[in-house]
Amino acid sequence: MQVLERAIQIIDAIAESPQGLTAQALAERLDLTRPTIHRLLGALVDHGFLRRNRRLARYELGLRLVQLGRLAYSSLDLRHRARRGLADLVIRTRESASLAILDGTDIVIVDGFDGPGVLRPANLVGRRIPAHVTAAGRALLAEGGERMLRRYLEEAGWPGGADPGDPRAGLLREQLRRARRQGYAVEQDEFEIGMTSVAAVIRNHSGAAESALVLSGPSQRMSIELIEAEYGPLVQMNAMSISRELGWAAPEQSIAELEQAVEAARVSSANGEWLPKRADEGRNPMRNGNRILATMAGAALAAASVAAVRAEEMTLRYAHANTTSYPYHTAGLAFAERIAEETGGEITVELFPQGQLGGERDILEGIQLGTVDFQALSLGVLGNEIMAVNVLNLPFIFASAEHFIEVTTGEIGRKILRMAQEEGDAKGIKVLAIAGPMFRHPMNNVRPIDSVDDFRGLKFRTMEVPLHRDTYDALGATPVPLPFGEVYTALQTGVVDGNENGASALYMNRFHEVQKYVTELPVVSNSGALVMSAVTYDRLSEDQRRAVHDAARVWTEVMNRDGLAQEAAAFEAMAKAGIEVTHVRDVSAFVEATRPVYEKYMAGFSDEHRALVQEILASQRK
């Protein structure tokens, strides 16, 4: 582990030096002996992570890092664009869907959604499996032809290698030919015994097959007949749609034909014209009829038992994109505990923090599609879908954290929540609560900020959010959008004078080491909302819905409690670290300075929204 850490430190040090570094400079900077630094540099050069500029006797970043960066970027874009196709598969089939890429001789699952069924494969994300034993691997190998297969067999170290006479290689070749004919590959007992998967390739903008879409479920539900009639074409169709998202010109006719095949299978099944048939069944109609009746009876019993289990137990997913110390998570734990208590264990809420299910926009899309059940998210992101919450996003709309709690838990807050719920219901989003008295505060290295004039001339790093940029511009500052990872260095080198963020984020990211002044000033809200998928809500009983609403009240209490506590603790910690903390109690001058921002962002507000803004501003003066 120590060797790995030192290697990473070397790469980081060279990345910060555009001209590269000599071995001696690296040894001095990292406090390493010359034999150690030369040994590490040699290994990094051998693997392509670094290159040696012999003319300058310096070490520079190698092409291997560029390749890995390109692969990582490509994977992120692929995941983002594939999510709708993954979710559609889960909704249509109620089975699990995943996204796989080929890495050397292995298939790696890089994303996916679990189906809602009681019987389903374990979470697969991160799983690495030899390609030839998976549906995804066979689908991709089938696209590569004989040359790719020979290379694969040699790299995988098959006993017979690429020998055409090897029976195992011959069987694999036949499976790949079948996959090419069908347009998808099937593998039984994949991931787990009794689980079946079907996969189709996803193409990039040039038409190259670079990943695969996979549908997985219990073999008892995913029969070969069902796959051939419906699930195979469905996976193909979704894979083509994702390919189009990536820029491939997928034939419209092919997608339309697959859609027709899927719909025809559904209609036939619904009308009783098509039933899955066992492969070993003969042609005796009486015997076949008895077997079909027996199969239907068994299926009915199985369905009844599964329904009984579902009535007793249900696991729902609560996701957010923040750390486990953030109020979204602590409030989520309290929310989950209350639901379990109120339902007598019928509903278990499982938490997925730190963006495990994607960024806030990705998760919200999952809420609308029904693949995520609960989400805690910022009002800024929710405001893209629900206009009513944008009333709370205006600058200096709240005078303080206490004012936020007073408004959101009072009559004004109840009005906003009702309006948000009405808008959300039309978009598949159940808005359960709004809470979190947290704000984005200004911090800088030039002077204390106590008035509007103190902002003038300062360069502030802001998020790439138009309202935030316009707010700082109206205050007389110069907003400078920068990636978050570059903020510390930009502050340290004077590229910007200050930055703005939640108090706990300012402290946890150690910005106090390179800044002198911070002001407790509620520029824009950093609060959040708790939302639920309407798809999930609709399948709950009345008692279970009451339990959810009761737990939402607990979520609000914990969000407000922990939000207050974290802000206060962060300001106290920064003061102890030597930062000068200024507290502004009257924000009326700041409201006046940002009137142009109000006019711009209230242009799309209804009369009701405008009236609520005036009510909140009037309550500041009470």
Q: Taking residues 20-41, report their average pLDDT.
A: 85
pLDDT digits (tens, 9 = 90+) for 48-57: 888 888 777 7
pLDDT tier at 522 (50, 70, 90 boundaries)?
very high
Higher pLDDT, 126 or 521: 521
Q: Taking residues 255-260, report their average pLDDT.
A: 66
pLDDT tier at 296 (50, 70, 90 boundaries)?
very low
Higher pLDDT, 51 or 75: 51
In angstroms, rounded to a whole number, what is the distance separating the alpha carbons of residues 5 and 19? 23
- The answer to whether residue 253 scores a pLDDT higher than 90 is no
- Residue 172 half-sphere exposure toward CB, CA atoms < 13 A: 29
- Residue 500 half-sphere exposure toward CB, CA atoms < 13 A: 32
The residues pairing with 440 across neighbouring beta strands, listed in sequence order, are 502, 524
| DSSP assignment of 532-544 | EEHHHHHTS-HHH
pLDDT digits (tens, 9 = 90+) for 171-183: 777 888 888 888 8
Higher pLDDT, 275 or 399: 399
Percent of the chain with pLDDT over 90: 41
| DSSP assignment of 487-515 | HHHHHHHTSSSEEEEEHHHHHHTTGGGS-
Q: What is the pLDDT of residue 18?
A: 66
Q: Taking residues 327-343, report their average pLDDT.
A: 95
332-340: long-range contacts, CB 8 A cutoff, minimum separation 24: 332/374, 332/376, 332/555, 334/551, 334/554, 334/555, 334/557, 334/558, 335/374, 335/530, 335/551, 335/552, 335/554, 335/555, 335/558, 336/551, 338/547, 338/550, 338/551, 338/554, 339/547, 339/548, 339/551
278-284: long-range contacts, CB 8 A cutoff, minimum separation 24: 279/224
pLDDT tier at 283 (50, 70, 90 boundaries)?
very low
Could you give the C-alpha distances from 111 to 81, 117, 316, in angstroms and in order? 11, 19, 19
Using DSSP's 3-state secondary structure scheme, residue 99 falls into strand
- The answer to whether residue 449 scores a pLDDT higher than 70 is yes
Average pLDDT of the chain to the nearest whole number: 82
| DSSP assignment of 124-138 | -TT-EEEGGGSHHHH
- Beta-sheet pairing, 429-435 with 314-319: unpaired
Helix segments in 157-183, DSSP class H: 167-182
Q: In what order do the strands lie in the sheet with 314-319?
A: 347-352, 314-319, 374-378, 528-533, 429-435
Q: Taking residues 580-587, report their average pLDDT.
A: 95
Q: Taking residues 589-607, report their average pLDDT.
A: 93
In angstroms, rounded to a whole number, what is the distance separating the alpha carbons of residues 463 and 483? 8
Nearest to 281 by CA among 272, 299, 294, 300: 294
Q: Which two tokens stand for residue 518?
A: 């911070």
Helix segments in 183-231, DSSP class H: 224-226
**Cα of 494 vs its chain's centroid, Å:** 33
Using DSSP's 3-state secondary structure scheme, residue 390 falls into helix
Nearest to 602 by CA among 405, 453, 295, 391: 391
- The answer to whether residue 64 scores a pLDDT higher than 80 is no
Could you give the C-alpha distances from 84 to 98, 99, 239, in angstroms and in order? 12, 12, 11
Higher pLDDT, 126 or 374: 374
Q: What is the pLDDT of residue 163?
A: 57
Q: What is the pLDDT of residue 298?
A: 41
Q: What is the pLDDT of residue 248?
A: 79
Q: What is the pLDDT of residue 387?
A: 92
In angstroms, rounded to a whole number, what is the distance separating the alpha carbons of residues 506 and 439? 11
pLDDT digits (tens, 9 = 90+) for 371-420: 899 999 999 889 889 999 999 999 999 999 999 999 999 999 999 999 99
Percent of the chain with pLDDT over 70: 82
Q: Which two tokens stand for residue 275?
A: 């039933």
**Phi and psi torsions of 100, nearest 5°:** -125, 145
Nearest to 443 by CA among 528, 510, 394: 510
- The rounded radius of gyration (Å) of the Cα atoms in the chain is 29
Using DSSP's 3-state secondary structure scheme, residue 607 falls into helix
Q: Which two tokens stand for residue 75?
A: 């994977």
In angstroms, rounded to a whole number, what is the distance separating the alpha carbons of residues 422 and 513? 46
Q: What is the pLDDT of residue 291?
A: 36
pLDDT digits (tens, 9 = 90+) for 187-246: 876 656 678 899 999 988 778 887 899 998 888 788 888 888 888 889 988 888 888 877
- Beta-sheet pairing, 374-378 with 528-533: antiparallel
Collect all residues with Cβ–Cβ distance below 8 Å to 175 and sequence separation of at least 6.
Answer: 138, 185
Nearest to 340 by CA among 618, 168, 554: 554
Q: Which two tokens stand for residue 133?
A: 């034993």
Range name among 140-149, 196-205, 387-396, 596-605 with the lowest pLDDT average: 140-149
Using DSSP's 3-state secondary structure scheme, residue 51 falls into strand
pLDDT tier at 300 (50, 70, 90 boundaries)?
very low
Beta strands in 503-589 (DSSP E): 517-520, 524-525, 528-533, 580-583
